């Protein structure tokens, strides 16, 4: 059992091997794309608009499936039709931006605690973590608000809080700087650094290379359907 | 918030935000089920009506002139022993003559006192479980082979008509029931789909967080279950109200017994639940 756990610990958190993905229009989105992310490390993937950043996110959350190659997260291979496996993997991922959004029918507090509700974590623990995150992101006043009443920045912060509440080992952030003012951007970046130091992994997809360095991070360029 | 509280809140939200659709769904489903229930009552009532008619059916067994009177007790015993025969009434030549006279209004056999041409006969009645074409024909066949029996007569054509009418009513009932039930199912599923269409984005986000399809659709299963169950109860209340207000003296209206009604309500609630689940399932693809 210990050996099995030790083996699991050394397995990469994310492993994309020789991935080929064809777009709806028939062209290749990815050609022989490879990515390995060890637990505790992070990756910043930079690519221009249309380079396939969102498609890469969709591959990692089991929303799209590669024509060829393997996509493994948390030592589980994501395959079409394996709904249970995909759900278990998604439970371990915190998502911010891009395809990830808030549920308009739930309040801020309910949105943040939703991953814990889905995982069946006890109410007491939910409340403790919720309070901590609401104060950390200065969202205490907005706890009872619904997403349509939030500003863009508040919406983004709520997504960050939701991506962290269940201690998700991997956070995928699509465009962390999108539409944010400098002050909020700096605040978000401080938080990203904090996540990285805490030993959790991140995959940050951005169109511009971040001005600040995040510790334990590898940088990639997404170009011509592959990672450089 | 626990999973169950979340599911119940989602249910309450859905009901609270779409009261018009919920009421419409409840009323339209009630109406469809009411139609089905009415037909159920009609089928049961017609079944009872025909059963009462059939219970009056008799068979005449005419005896040959050669059969001595001393053999009659043995023949009566043999006929009584046949499964399904309820009573055997012996009709002598004189009784037949009196019967004929009472039917026609005058004695047609005046002057034939020593040469009464009417045969002796038995008039048979039957137990209800054999009052169908095949079993009556089988009994007639058995009696026909008994020594001393000249002819067996019963209203075969009438019996055929009764059976045909019964089976037509049953067939129509089945088709009618199927149409109504599928209409109720589709209507309920569509109403729930209408209520949930605006929440597709929310469902997609829940899926991205790892929520299972069952977790997302459970509130709508419960909603469909409630709408289906309540519609069935409402439609039966209307039937019972009408049953106690209206009374026919000539036709006995047959209402299904309460156990059947409870089972029907439960089945309808389950079907409602399934339709609720189906209403959301398409949006989760």
The predicted-structure confidence for B213-256, as pLDDT tens digits, reads as follows 888 889 888 988 998 899 999 999 999 998 888 766 667 788 89
Residues of B in contact with A83 (CB under 8 A): 212-213
What does each C-alpha distance from A11 to A14, A15, A20, A43, A45 come to in angstroms? 9, 9, 22, 17, 21
- Per-residue tokens: B169: 């009513």
Closest chain B residue by Cα to residue A127: B1
Residues of A in contact with B1 (CB under 8 A): 110, 113, 117, 123, 126
Q: Are B187 and B29 in contact (CB under 8 A)?
A: yes
Q: How many domains does chain B have?
A: 2
Q: Which helix (H) or strand (E) holds B212?
A: none
Evaluate whether residue B102 is within a structural domain: yes
Closest chain B residue by Cα to residue A105: B202
Kindly state whether residues B35 and B170 are assigned to the same domain: yes
ipTM score: 0.85
Kindly state whether residues B269 and B179 are assigned to the same domain: yes
Q: Cα distance from A76 to chain B (closest Cα, Å)?
A: 14
Q: How many CB pairs under 8 A join A and B?
A: 58
Evaluate whether residue B114 is within a structural domain: yes
Per-residue pLDDT at B4:
86
Bigger pLDDT: A154 vs B114? A154
Kindly state whether residues B213 and B263 are assigned to the same domain: yes
Once rounded to an integer, what is the mean pLDDT over residues B1-7?
A: 83
Once rounded to an integer, what is the mean pLDDT over residues B3-11?
A: 86
pTM of the model: 0.71
Residues of B in contact with A63 (CB under 8 A): 208
Among B119, B154, B189, which residue terminates a domain? B154
Kindly state whether residues B71 and B199 are assigned to the same domain: no
In this complex, is the C-beta atom of B201 within 8 Å of any C-beta atom belonging to chain A?
Answer: yes
Kindly state whether residues B46 and B168 are assigned to the same domain: yes
Which of A95, A106, A117 is opposite residue B208, by nearest beta carbon?
A: A95
Q: Cα distance from B268 to chain A (closest Cα, Å)?
A: 30
Bigger pLDDT: B199 vs A172? A172
Question: pLDDT band for position B66 (50/70/90)?
Answer: confident
Q: Tell me how far apart the alpha carbons of residues A188 and A176 are, in angstroms, rounded to a whole number.
A: 8
The predicted-structure confidence for B146-170, as pLDDT tens digits, reads as follows 998 999 999 888 888 888 888 888 8
Contact B2 A123 (CB under 8 A): yes
Query: Could you give the angle at which helices A152-165 and A182-197 cross, rounded to 10 degrees?
Result: 10
Q: Cα distance from A57 to chain B (closest Cα, Å)?
A: 11
3-state secondary structure of B253: coil
Nearest CA to A159 out of A97, A115, A105, A104 is that of A97
Q: Tell me how far apart the alpha carbons of residues B78 and B88 are, in angstroms, rounded to a whole number.
A: 10
Evaluate whether residue B28 is within a structural domain: yes
Kindly state whether residues B26 and B72 are assigned to the same domain: no
Q: Are B45 and B252 in contact (CB under 8 A)?
A: yes
Among B154, B189, B217, which residue terminates a domain? B154
Contact B2 A101 (CB under 8 A): no
Report the share of chain B in percent with pLDDT over 70: 95
Kindly state whether residues B225 and B101 are assigned to the same domain: no
Kindly state whether residues B74 and B37 are assigned to the same domain: no
Per-residue pLDDT at A10:
61
Evaluate whether residue B3 is within a structural domain: no
Residues of A in contact with B6 (CB under 8 A): 117
Q: Are A24 and A44 in contact (CB under 8 A)?
A: no
Q: Tell me how far apart the alpha carbons of residues B25 and A145 are, in angstroms, rounded to a whole number.
A: 31
CATH code of the domain containing B146: 3.30.70.3040
Kindly state whether residues B135 and B176 are assigned to the same domain: no
Three state DSSP letters for chain A = CHHHHHHHHHCCCEEEEEEEEECCCCCEEEEEEEEEECCCCEEEEECCCCCCHHHHHHHHCCCCCCCEEEEEECCEECCCCCHHHHHHHHHCEEEECCCCCCCCCCCHHHHHHHHHHHHCCCHHHHHHHHHHHHHHCCCCCCCCCCHHHCCHHHHHHHHHHHHHHCCCCEEEEECCCCCCCHHHHHHHHHHHHHHHHCCCEEEEEECCCCCCCCCCEEEEEEECCEEC
Evaluate whether residue B1 is within a structural domain: no
For B265, other C-beta atoms within 10 Å of its C-beta total 20
Residues of A in contact with B2 (CB under 8 A): 117, 120, 123
**What mean pLDDT is reported for chain B?**
85
Evaluate whether residue B2 is within a structural domain: no
Evaluate whether residue B181 is within a structural domain: yes
In this complex, is the C-beta atom of B141 within 8 Å of any C-beta atom belonging to chain A?
Answer: no
Residues paired with B89 in a beta bridge: B123
Give the domain range for residue B237.
8-52+162-284
Kindly state whether residues B166 and B48 are assigned to the same domain: yes
Evaluate whether residue B207 is within a structural domain: yes
Q: Tell me how far apart the alpha carbons of residues B63 and B5 are, in angstroms, rounded to a whole number.
A: 81
pLDDT averaged per 10 residues in sequence order, chain A, 228 residues: 46 90 86 91 89 92 92 92 91 90 91 92 90 90 92 88 91 81 79 84 87 82 85
Kindly state whether residues B22 and B45 are assigned to the same domain: yes
Which of A61, A87, A117 is opposite residue B3, by nearest beta carbon?
A: A117
Among B154, B181, B197, which residue terminates a domain? B154
Kindly state whether residues B136 and B275 are assigned to the same domain: no
């Amino acid at each position: 059992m210990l050996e099995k756990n030790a083996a699991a610990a050394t397995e990469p958190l994310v492993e994309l091997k020789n991935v080929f993905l064809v777009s709806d229009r028939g062209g290749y989105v990815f050609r022989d794309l490879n990515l390995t992310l060890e637990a505790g490390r992070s990756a910043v993937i930079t690519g221009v608009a249309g380079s396939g950043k969102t498609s890469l996110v969709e591959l990692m959350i089991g929303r799209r499936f590669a024509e060829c190659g393997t996509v493994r997260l948390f030592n589980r291979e994501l395959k079409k039709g394996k709904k249970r496996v995909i759900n278990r993997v998604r439970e371990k991922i915190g998502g911010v931006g891009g395809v990830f959004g808030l549920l308009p029918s739930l309040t801020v507090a309910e949105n943040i605690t939703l991953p814990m509700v889905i995982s069946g974590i006890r109410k007491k623990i939910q409340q403790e973590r919720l309070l901590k995150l609401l104060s950390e992101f200065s969202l205490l006043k907005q706890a009872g608000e619904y997403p349509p009443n939030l500003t863009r920045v508040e919406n983004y912060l709520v997504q960050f809080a939701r991506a962290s509440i269940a201690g998700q080992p991997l956070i995928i952030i699509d465009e962390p700087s999108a539409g944010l003012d400098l002050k909020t951007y700096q605040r978000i970046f401080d938080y990203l650094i904090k996540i990285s130091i805490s030993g959790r992994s991140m995959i940050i997809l951005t169109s511009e290379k971040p001005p600040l360095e995040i510790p334990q991070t590898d940088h990639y360029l997404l170009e011509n359907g592959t990672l450089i | 918030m626990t999973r169950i509280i979340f599911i119940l809140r989602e249910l309450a939200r859905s009901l609270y935000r779409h009261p018009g659709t919920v009421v419409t769904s409840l009323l339209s489903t009630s109406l469809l089920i009411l139609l089905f229930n009415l037909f159920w009552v009609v089928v049961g009532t017609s079944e009872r009506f025909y059963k009462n008619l059939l219970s009056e059916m008799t068979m005449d067994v005419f005896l040959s002139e050669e059969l001595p009177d001393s053999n009659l007790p043995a023949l009566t015993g043999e006929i009584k022993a046949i499964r399904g025969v309820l009573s055997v009434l012996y009709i002598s030549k004189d009784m037949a003559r009196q019967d004929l006279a009472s039917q026609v209004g005058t004695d047609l056999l005046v002057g034939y006192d020593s040469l009464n041409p009417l045969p002796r006969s038995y008039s048979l009645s039957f137990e209800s479980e054999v009052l169908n074409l095949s079993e009556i024909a089988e009994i007639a066949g058995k009696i026909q082979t008994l020594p001393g029996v000249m002819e067996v007569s019963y209203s075969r054509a009438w019996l055929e008509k009764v059976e045909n009418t019964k089976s037509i009513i049953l067939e129509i009932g089945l088709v009618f029931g199927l149409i109504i039930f599928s209409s109720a199912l589709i209507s309920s599923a569509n109403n729930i789909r209408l209520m949930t269409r605006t929440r597709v984005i929310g469902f997609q986000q829940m899926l991205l967080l790892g929520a299972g399809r069952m977790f997302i659709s459970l509130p709508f299963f419960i909603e469909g279950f409630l709408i289906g169950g309540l519609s069935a109860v409402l439609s039966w209340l209307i039937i019972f109200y009408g049953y106690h207000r209206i009374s026919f003296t000539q036709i006995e209206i047959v209402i299904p017994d309460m156990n059947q009604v409870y089972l029907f309500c439960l089945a309808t609630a389950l079907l409602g639940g399934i339709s609720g689940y189906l209403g959301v399932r398409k949006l989760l693809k």
